Amino acid sequence: MNLKLRRAPGTPLIRVGHRGARGHAPENTLVSFNLAVEMGVQAVETDVHISKDGQVVLIHDHTVDRTTDGHGFVKDLTLAELKKLDAGAWYDPRFAGQRILTLAELLAWAKNRVGVAIEIKNGPIYYPGIAAQTIRLVHEHDMLHQTILLSFDHFVLREAKTIEPQVATGILYAGRLIDPVAAAQAANADSLNPAWAFITPDLVQTAHAAGLAISPWCPNDLPTLRMLDAIGVDSIGTDYPDLFEQI
């Protein structure tokens, strides 16, 4: 199976679960990803950082404080130390025992099941080599065509394309860019991924005319999802994938 970036006219929206099903389960955990799949997504989105011992791990923040029972920066903790942390109980006691996953674990789980959108976290803490490490893992799990790399750091996306020209990439941003197509082209990216509030019908048309996909983040209410679907975006990442059934 391949992850589609563009939807053909008249076909359903491509559904993406933001950090799994973050509105219903602890983000970036196996229970969250499984729930998103049960809710019918075609892809799950996640975030990656690098541990002290060079492992690519799934967590949104630069620190473990918000989403685990631990403290400290991801970059200062080994994978073994990260694996000891509870990544579920903070959300709800019934999720106690969920663990921080490695990207390798997610890719192995996702193979032939669902696409993966990987947001590379780079800045204000930078991880030299994170693009190469991520692409290596994608290749090891034969997930090149089921994966898209995203980042607010457009430099790291350009680096990823230099390493592997076939990998799909999308530029994340929040604002109304004067020339979003030029921004994507500068990064050699395939998709525009703006915050949903900056999506307009003109932007959708401009993206498609340039051969780019367009995928907003992260609307979490039904009226907004319906509006974005109506103006023709290709995919949407949301914390509440169950809402897609009501569009």
- Give the CATH number, domain containing residue 29: 3.20.20.190
Tell me the pLDDT tens digit for each residue of 111-122: 999 999 999 999
User: Rounded distance, CA 247 to CA 69, Å?
Assistant: 37
Does any domain span residue 3? no
- 235 in the Ramachandran plot: left (φ > 0), alpha (ψ -120 to 50) or beta? beta
* Catalytic site residue from 18, 49, 141, 154: 18
Query: In the chain, how many domains are there?
Result: 1
CA proximity to 46, closest of 115, 112, 110, 117: 117
49 in any annotated domain: yes
Domain span including residue 110: 14-246
Establish if 7 belongs to a structural domain: no
Residue type, 200: T
Is 85 part of a structural domain of the chain? yes
Distance CA 179, CA 26 (A): 36
At 22, the amino acid letter reads: R
pLDDT at residue 67 greater than cutoff 90:
yes
Kindly report the backbone phi and psi dihedral angles of residue 235, in degrees, each rounded to the nearest multiple of 5, phi listed first.
Answer: -150, 165
pLDDT per residue over 157-181, tens digit each? 999 999 999 999 999 999 999 999 9
Q: Which is catalytic among the residues 60, 62, 139, 208?
A: 60
Active-site residue 24, yes or no? no
Q: What is the pTM of this model?
A: 0.97
Is 141 labeled as catalytic in the residue annotation?
A: no
With respect to residue 39, please indicate whether it lies within any of the assigned structural domains: yes
Mean pLDDT over residues 77-81, rounded? 98
Q: Which amino acid is at 20?
A: G
The long-range contacts involving 62-67, CB below 8 angstroms and separated by at least 24 positions, are: 62/121, 62/124, 62/125, 64/100, 66/90, 67/26, 67/27, 67/28, 67/91
Residue 167 lies in a domain: yes
